[in-house]
A and B are shown apart, each in its own frame.
Chain A
């Protein structure tokens, strides 16, 4: 009995049920909402973009979400991602509408903060993808980013050029990745331990050098990097705001498709993936497993360093432990995104959105402690990791040292 019940509980059905439940919750919130109140979405220049009647909008979103869930249970969509995406969009929109009842929210501002918050996460996830697709677990994204953040400020302080700072960050990330590669590929140290070492080293060494060398010399806060404007796009009415941003954001937006193409449409990508899936087979057809792994891990380090430079260059100074755990969230985004660049980018946007919303919390009437909103992405990660684990498929040889025979 129980076994049969369990068997019928496929992931597809669970998601259908969850979507229906979410729809019911939204409908319940709708019944509690005040009648005649509007939720306004505004823009700096244009004023109010559009204003939805809160209660009616909630009813509509709730019903739609319930219907999507029901349809999934009854007939099923072709792809689970459709359900996931639709339900997530509806839940998030309803949440926004509910929050802004009788108030307003700056929608382009929110989008911009989301994109900016997602930048280091995406870069970290891309770094992880390069390493893990080649079969080396990279838990040291956090440490590499911290080293990058520090190296960027040190280099800018000395040379006065922000681009050199970014270059220094990229190279430092690569050096730390090389350490990770030596330990985990040549010496076959457990990859998670080798990553942890880099994280410990990053926290200690950056602070040590900062206190000992940079601060006494009066270095350490050279000012933020100037914003970059994309010529034509920046004049687009509402979304133009997105195109005046820290350069790192644009690099990230460029890197996502580039990494996607490299991984899935080039011989190099094919070799990388084969080394991560079945190194022995790759070795048999003449691919140098060790070399592939080394190079990919170091490329991953470059990207993580670039991601780290975002923190310090956009702030203009270095603070102790300034990545505060974003590297681990990037890791989670990578797993969410099923080890694909595009998927990780969307996962990072979800985390970035929660972060952006959290910053705007004070503007709302609803009293929700900001700490709880900060917790939300972590809890979400745990739930999705628990619910999706059958769906995420790490590279088969991820985490296993390769030995030539």
Chain B
């Protein structure tokens, strides 16, 4: 070998160390897990659980990026995980630099630089730890409650300690259903911004059947109320689909219009015809036979809507990937021209997709109305329209992804409520975080360049889900 021949390029440090780093990572994660278990059992060092948890998540992300080859099935999770982490970090900066104490300390930053940083860290730590407690629960209280339950058989303390995580699950139910609604639309090439209106109409129909139909046993009344809500949502979405199929009117404008019509309709109904007592602006309570059963006793509100959500997720997966109709729908969404040339009926698929999408959103309203509120008030729909779009994007329009994304949003929402009461951070921080998440998911190139991951060529390609106004 001659001297002037160049050496073969040295393998990157990470690649060389991969074999040694992997067991290290796995060992660290195992140790952290052990530490968490020990601290729950001994109730010592409980404050450390949250940082340890965060550390293990970071290690997991590192592990996945390192072992991208052998964790191929996890590869799709890298960008969403990094997107959520980045959004949470930006959220932390927002919390810190809008805190009045921090801002005052920043005023005399040069006298006491440590003070400002300490205050900022405190603000963020209080906010996020209260969010964690509101979303998952306080480890100490869970440990205490569990101990009491085992020792004395009294489960009340355990139930109230478990309430936060149950609440997160409860909050996830409408997210799963509305997220599925938008995801199904995306798969069919339709952008359903009208989940909010369909949600409202679904809930309205269910409530009306719930209190006006009397004398039925629960096993008839409840399904009837659910069906009514689903039908309401289907009609509300189906009208838009029909208009699109027959006249070509764009679904984005029409779903927005249908939203406003639904809001006004419900306002009018709650002001007059359906108002239970003058001035309350709410309907009568639904009968007991129409209520979705709850699994546990009072502090926990988790209800049978969970089954509706799980069933809907399974149904959407089965429908889209295991049936001919679903195949047609996906083809129409992916390439309408190909679908047309192969003899598929575009119009029928558009109507069907919008109606199904509306049904799913309607079912979300049903589960909220029959499971939680038991009546209809103004402000029932509370922003599910925009959140559902975020969910569908985060979940890559796949039922499994939507369920995971919904769990995240449920956690954010129920944690955000506690964060507001404990740390005084407005609930709106969660919608800012959600917007960031969508940005990073929709433009993966930003995340990849932030973390110095190699940019895949296809990610700079245009990703058009919707097609202009005309077609």
Contacts and interface: CB of A to CB of B under 8 A. Distances in A.
Interface in A95-121: none
A192 B466 contact: yes
Contacts of A200: 386, 390, 431, 434-435, 438
B463 A188 contact: yes
Name, among A200, A216, A374, A389, the residue most crowded by chain B CB atoms within 10 Å (CB to CB).
A200
A192 B191 contact: yes
A209 to B, nearest CB: 7
Contact of A205 (B264, B386, B428): B428
B249 A385 contact: yes
Interface stretch (A279-287, A301-309, A325-333): A325-333
B464 A378 contact: no
B257 interface: yes
A193 B446 CA distance: 16
Interface in B369-385: 383
B257 A201 contact: no
Interface stretch (A153-161, A219-227, A395-403): A395-403
Contact of A328 (B256, B393, B462, B463): B256
B69 to A, nearest CB: 27
Contact of B463 (A190, A212, A369, A378): A190
Name, among A193, A207, A401, the residue most crowded by chain B CB atoms within 10 Å (CB to CB).
A193
A374 to B, nearest CB: 5
B469 A207 contact: no
Name, among B100, B253, B257, B461, the residue most crowded by chain A CB atoms within 10 Å (CB to CB).
B257
Interface residues of A, number: 53
Interface residues of B, number: 57
B10 interface: no
**Majority SS of interface residues in chain A?**
helix
Nearest to B468: A399
A203 B446 contact: no
B469 A335 contact: yes
A5 interface: no
Given A369-B272, A379-B261, A213 B431 contact: no
A203 B427 CA distance: 12
B389 interface: yes
B346 to A, nearest CB: 15
A381 interface: yes
Contacts of B469: 137, 335, 392, 394, 398-399
Contacts of A331: 253, 256
B247 interface: yes
Interface in A195-233: 196-197, 199-201, 203-205, 207-209, 211-213, 216
A183 B439 contact: yes
A192 B247 contact: no
Interface in A326-362: 328, 331-332, 335
A205 B432 contact: yes
Given A187-B442, A386-B247, 17 more contacts: A137-B468, A183-B439, A183-B443, A188-B463, A192-B252, A193-B438, A199-B386, A200-B435, A203-B383, A204-B430, A209-B98, A212-B98, A213-B98, A335-B253, A371-B265, A378-B264, A401-B464
Interface of B: 94, 98-100, 191, 193, 243, 246-250, 252-254, 256-258, 260-261, 264-265, 267-268, 271-272, 383, 386, 389-390, 393, 425-426, 428-432, 434-435, 438-439, 442-443, 445-446, 460-470
